[in-house]
């Protein structure tokens, strides 16, 4: 803990562990514990933002994935569930709700008439953009405690950490 920083939740947890198991290195909590706590604290606001647009987080994930894909905003179900890292059954349920809301359409593939593609409707495009803009504004509010330089430095360190963890998760190949 730096001299000017106030103790936070993770500092208190680390102090308790230091008292209970002296000598155990709890440094990972200083980083991963804080990352987890930040995620948990921010997730409620993210969920509320999406709910204000009539979406849950999973539905937003689908329409934002289609929007990020670029025109013509269409992907196969396999591309979608692979990108979202969910089961095909989980995707089917989300697509049914989004289709009922008029945000996506399922159309025959132009390249393979036997398969379907999921297409983001005009209403889906607009809603994905509106919800994403609102989400980014809300998330930036959390980052206002840091200067632009601090945000850039933190993003770079997290990128480096994530790349290493992803590499390990992929078997180090």
> Is-contact 64 128, C-beta < 8 A?
yes
pTM for this structure?
0.85
Instruction: Please give the CATH architecture assigned to the domain spanning 57-142.
Output: Orthogonal Bundle (1.10)
Task: Name the percent of the chain in helix, strand, coil, to the closest 5.
Answer: 65, 5, 25
> Is-contact 14 22, C-beta < 8 A?
no
Render pLDDT for 84-140 as a digit per residue (tens, 0 to 9): 988 888 899 999 999 999 999 999 877 776 788 999 999 999 999 999 999 999 999
E-strand stretches of the chain:
74-75, 104-108, 116-120
Sign of CA dihedral 109, 113, 115, 121: positive
Render pLDDT for 133-153 as a digit per residue (tens, 0 to 9): 999 999 999 999 999 999 999
């Amino acid at each position: 803990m730096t001299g000017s920083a106030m103790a936070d939740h993770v500092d208190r947890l680390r102090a308790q562990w230091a008292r209970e198991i002296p000598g155990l290195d709890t440094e990972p909590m200083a980083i991963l514990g804080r990352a987890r706590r930040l995620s948990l604290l921010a997730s409620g606001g993210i969920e509320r933002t999406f709910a204000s647009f009539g979406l849950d987080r999973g539905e937003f994930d689908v329409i934002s994935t289609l929007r990020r894909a670029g025109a013509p905003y269409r992907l196969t179900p396999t591309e979608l569930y692979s990108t979202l890292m969910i089961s095909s059954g989980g995707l089917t349920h989300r697509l049914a709700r989004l289709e009922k809301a008029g945000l996506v359409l399922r159309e025959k593939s132009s390249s393979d008439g036997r398969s379907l593609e999921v297409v983001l409707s005009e209403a889906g495009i607009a809603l994905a953009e509106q919800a994403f803009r609102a989400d980014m504004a809300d998330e930036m509010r959390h980052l206002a405690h840091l200067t632009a330089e601090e945000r850039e430095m933190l993003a770079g360190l997290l990128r480096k950490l994530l790349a290493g963890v992803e590499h390990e998760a992929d078997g180090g190949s």
